Chain A
Amino acid sequence: MLSYIFRRLCGAVPTILVVVTVCFTMLQLTPGGPFDSERKVSPEVLANLQAKYHLNEPIYKQYGYYLNNLLHGDLGASFRYADWSVNSLVGNALPISLTIGCTSMVLALFFGVLLGIVAALKQNSLVDYFVMFLSNFGSAVPSFVIGPVLVLVFCLWTPLLPFGEFRLTPAYILLPVALLTLINVSTLGRVMRGSLIEVLNSNYIRTARAKGLPLRTIVLRHALKPALLPIVTLLGPLAVATIAQAVVTESVFAIPGIGRLLVNGAINRDYTLVLGLVLLVAIATVLFNLIVDVVYALLDPRIRY
């Protein structure tokens, strides 16, 4: 198992490198640059600025500088937030995004699996339709509608929760976590329902039923584990998206997280910041997928590394 993990990590390095290169190229090709603003800067000033950030040098050299800094653990200086390094920007945003993202993932996993099981056991009944109605809410109503409505209801109409400068306390993260959970429950719930139906229709479960085992035992002992496999596959990308790309949630609740940093970086053509975040997301994707595969192996006895 350890050697498998090691091999996977080594194999990931070129993938991550390609991701960074692709992004670097895409950013270079995007029209507009970090110094374009309403007030056009004069050619002299532009020259000064480009010299300061090495933008006047050939692309391959800029790329070389970037990789070299990267090897030294330096993600460079941000263009948009001139006083901060990309390292410190990411360092500020990551704990917040991780806290909110992970909390909501745990909740979504619990509720998603629960709702999925209920719906699957009552397939095609009113209970099924109603449970799926609940669980699909997050994927049928855009999050940029749910979010503001939550704020209106819980912070303005009935001022139960504070709404202002973001702090990493339960009162402030309750609503964003709720919103992210709603979104993820809809994905997880549907997958859980589908895969459990599939498992329940399989021959060995039919056999178990024929033997007269109680439904409870069948589901918990025999059906749940295989039915969870597709959920596990899904968790990796879902967790990365929840942590790093919760743009809507972050802007609606004024959260200084990773997602908004990434979108603002792209809008401001903050090359170094975007690349740094892309690197972070790429590494997270690789790591999460690896964890998922390991969990998969633990769940599914047929898989051996």
Chain B
Amino acid sequence: MKQVKSLSVLAASVALALAGASGVATAAKVPAGVQLDAKQELIRNNGSEVESLDISQVESYPAISVTSDLYEGLTRRDNNSKILPGVAESWKQTSPTTWVFHLRKDAKWSNGDALTAQDFVFSWQRTADPKTATKYGIFFEFLKNGKDVLAGKKPVSALGVKAVDAHTLEVTTDVPTAFLPDLLTNPQMAPLHKASYEKFGKDYTKPGKLVSNGAYTLSDWVVNNRLVLVKNANYWDAKDTKITKVTYLPVEDEATELKIYRAGEADTIDRLPAGTFQQMKAQLPKEMKPNKILGLYYYGLNCNDPVLKDKRVRQALSMVIDRDVLVNKVMGNGEAQAYSLIVAGTAGASVTGYDWQKLPMAKRVEEAKKLLAAAGYGPNKPLHLKFSYNTSEVHKKVGLFVISEWKTKLGIVTGMENQEFKVFLKTRHDGNYQVARNGWSVDYNDANSFLDLVRCGSDQNDSKYCNKAVDAEIAKGNLTVDAAKRKALLTSATKLAMEDYPIIPLFQYVQPRMTKTWVGGWTTTNPMDIYKTQELYIVKH
């Protein structure tokens, strides 16, 4: 299970944002010489039923995929995670905390209504309203007064968004937020069609009622069976949208999903059953599209635990795990070894590392043994640990490997505790564990998202780790406008935190996808991992 994901970009820099751009058509770019199929229809397996198509309730990867096709925000991301203009033609950061977005005049809703700045204000205020009860208010927390509005302490009108005129939107943030254009690509930040929402209420997301502004519009939705979108003729870039109909399947069982793909009734799948990657790669090398994402697979160490309170123990545990074997032999989907909180490609901080990571394993083990001995553990008093994880083939496999590393190299006896998913989440969030499997993929492409895992008292800090010096560096960095200085500060905060070993980073996630050879426009360089159908096309086959 991965963290809920959302979108953003590799280089969400102020420079790009300031540059803005003009309304260049950038949808499906069909290379010269490629013949398109007469039937531009696509079937994507989505891995699960969407929890909602209401953008204020959207949270999971499947729902974000579908709503990214249905809706378009001020900015959007292509299938290389590059930020492009969306409904906003251009934008300017007029002060460190103020942004002005100029909306394109030809933006329309799928029913032909004109799309105005007021539609964004309505949407955002509705989502931030405590009565709407969004689970995913993280993006609004960056807007001015966002946290207070979500908590019901201030009225929705206090939210940092204002329609200057029908085509100009002013957004204010609490602190300088260089990655704002990145945040705004998320479907949660899309506009909402007020008239249909007010007419149909909760039912506004049903086929025939949903009015969208993205490249697609909802045509059919049978829950747990299929979700069909068709091309939105009123979309401003409709002429460059090739796929006319996309069907999302909600098949959950991974083995079933792969069989449907092989039977030719799905053109793309997002996952593979554990242990089948090599087999499929050998059989269908051209269809493998593994994509490295901005996500970290790690083990959390409970810093409040009497045994793990000792930093030396935590360090020893991290040192002896051979990430090379883990990545190459146990996982084998092309994952990258991780020694830092930050994974390669994240904006806003550099990947840090450990001095020992280049040492030969024998040396690392020797040093780890010394650390353990200093902490009072050795052959006479072996260390006993408990490892908690939720039921999954991958978690089990990694867990067994790590435990055998600890056992054979340090003589640590580790009991495994496999819990049902929700029980496990409660155990982990409540800090009732010693070592727990954990994972994080960013909500927006900035180091800040990863640093949430180690900030004192952060909701995502399951290690219950707290170091005031780290917090001070993060806070200082986030108030810094200069990109280079900010990066230096956040990198040093990361380094500081990692030297305390609150977590054991293991590897950077790879999403092992497969697509049929005739699906054009699919990339494997998409760290934010959302694939918009509007950039895809079907090659003649």
- Direct touching of A and B (C-beta under 8 Å): yes
Interface membership of A152, Cβ < 8 A: yes
Q: How far, in whole Å, are A261 and B224 apart by their CA atoms in the complex?
A: 9
CB atoms of B131 and A165 under 8 A apart: no
Chain A residues contacting B134 (CB-CB under 8 Å) are: 45, 48
Interface code A38-53, partner B: CB below 8 Å = 1, 0 otherwise?
1111101100110110
A74: shortest Cβ distance to chain B, in Å? 14
Q: A49-B133, A151-B259, A165-B43 are in contact. Are A81 and B49 (CB under 8 A)?
A: yes
Q: A38-B439, A148-B259 are in contact. Are A33 and B224 (CB under 8 A)?
A: no
A-B contacts, CB under 8 A, total:
143
User: How many B residues touch the partner, as a band?
Assistant: 35 or more
Chain A contacts with B in 20-62, Cβ cutoff 8 A: 30-33, 35-42, 44-45, 48-49, 51-52
Chain B residues contacting A30 (CB-CB under 8 Å) are: 422
Q: How far, in whole Å, are A111 and B412 apart by their CA atoms in the complex?
A: 57
CB atoms of A37 and B425 under 8 A apart: yes
Partner of A35 from B135, B224, B460 at Cβ < 8 Å: B135
Please tell me which stretch of B50-58, B89-97, B284-292, B473-481 contacts chain A, meaning at least 4 of its Cβ atoms lie within 8 angstroms of it.
B50-58
Interface code A87-109, partner B: CB below 8 Å = 1, 0 otherwise?
01100110000000000000000
B163: shortest Cβ distance to chain A, in Å? 26
Chain A residues contacting B259 (CB-CB under 8 Å) are: 148, 151-152, 155-156, 163
Partner of B253 from A31, A32, A81, A254 at Cβ < 8 Å: A254
Interface code B208-225, partner A: CB below 8 Å = 1, 0 otherwise?
000000000000001111
CB atoms of A38 and B3 under 8 A apart: yes
Chain A residues contacting B255 (CB-CB under 8 Å) are: 148
Chain B contacts with A in 195-232, Cβ cutoff 8 A: 202-203, 205-206, 222-226
Q: How far, in whole Å, are A256 and B221 apart by their CA atoms in the complex?
A: 13
Chain B contacts with A in 285-303, Cβ cutoff 8 A: none
CB atoms of B133 and A269 under 8 A apart: no
Q: A41-B459, A251-B252 are in contact. Are A51 and B263 (CB under 8 A)?
A: no
Interface membership of B251, Cβ < 8 A: yes
CB atoms of A92 and B265 under 8 A apart: no
CB atoms of A83 and B54 under 8 A apart: yes
Interface membership of B247, Cβ < 8 A: yes
> Do most interface residues of chain A lie in helix, strand or loop, or is the interface mixed?
loop
Chain B residues contacting A38 (CB-CB under 8 Å) are: 1-4, 425, 439
In this complex, how many residues of chain A approach chain B with their Cβ under 8 Å: the count is: 48
CB atoms of A162 and B265 under 8 A apart: yes
Chain A residues contacting B132 (CB-CB under 8 Å) are: 48
Q: How far, in whole Å, are A165 and B261 apart by their CA atoms in the complex?
A: 11
CB atoms of A52 and B133 under 8 A apart: yes
Q: How far, in whole Å, are A256 and B152 apart by their CA atoms in the complex?
A: 39
B201: shortest Cβ distance to chain A, in Å? 11
CB atoms of A45 and B429 under 8 A apart: no
Closest to A267 in B: B421
CB atoms of A37 and B52 under 8 A apart: no
CB atoms of B422 and A82 under 8 A apart: no
Q: A37-B135, A81-B223 are in contact. Are A32 and B422 (CB under 8 A)?
A: yes
Interface code B143-157, partner A: CB below 8 Å = 1, 0 otherwise?
000010011100000
Chain B residues contacting A52 (CB-CB under 8 Å) are: 131, 133
Chain B contacts with A in 244-262, Cβ cutoff 8 A: 247, 249, 251-253, 255-256, 259-260, 262
Interface membership of A204, Cβ < 8 A: no
CB atoms of B51 and A40 under 8 A apart: no
B462: shortest Cβ distance to chain A, in Å? 8
B87: shortest Cβ distance to chain A, in Å? 24
Closest to A52 in B: B133
Chain B residues contacting A44 (CB-CB under 8 Å) are: 130, 147, 150-152
Q: How far, in whole Å, are A256 and B252 apart by their CA atoms in the complex?
A: 11
Interface membership of A73, Cβ < 8 A: no
CB atoms of B425 and A32 under 8 A apart: yes
Interface membership of A288, Cβ < 8 A: no
Interface membership of B423, Cβ < 8 A: yes
Q: A32-B422, A36-B425, A165-B265 are in contact. Are A82 and B51 (CB under 8 A)?
A: yes
Interface membership of A84, Cβ < 8 A: yes
Interface, chain B (partner A; CB < 8 A):
1-4, 43, 49, 51-54, 57, 59, 130-137, 147, 150-152, 202-203, 205-206, 222-226, 247, 249, 251-253, 255-256, 259-260, 262-266, 420-423, 425-426, 429, 439, 459-460, 462
Q: What are 14 sample pairs from A and B whose C-beta atoms fall under 8 A apart?
A: A31-B422, A32-B425, A36-B425, A37-B4, A39-B4, A44-B130, A82-B51, A92-B223, A151-B256, A155-B259, A164-B266, A165-B225, A165-B265, A251-B256
Nearest 9 A-B pairs (CB), nearest first? A164-B265, A32-B422, A256-B224, A48-B133, A44-B151, A82-B52, A163-B263, A52-B133, A36-B425
Known: A81-B51, A251-B252, A254-B251. 19 other contacts (CB 8 A): A31-B423, A31-B426, A33-B422, A37-B135, A40-B460, A40-B462, A44-B150, A45-B137, A48-B131, A83-B205, A93-B224, A151-B259, A162-B263, A162-B265, A163-B263, A251-B253, A254-B260, A267-B420, A267-B422
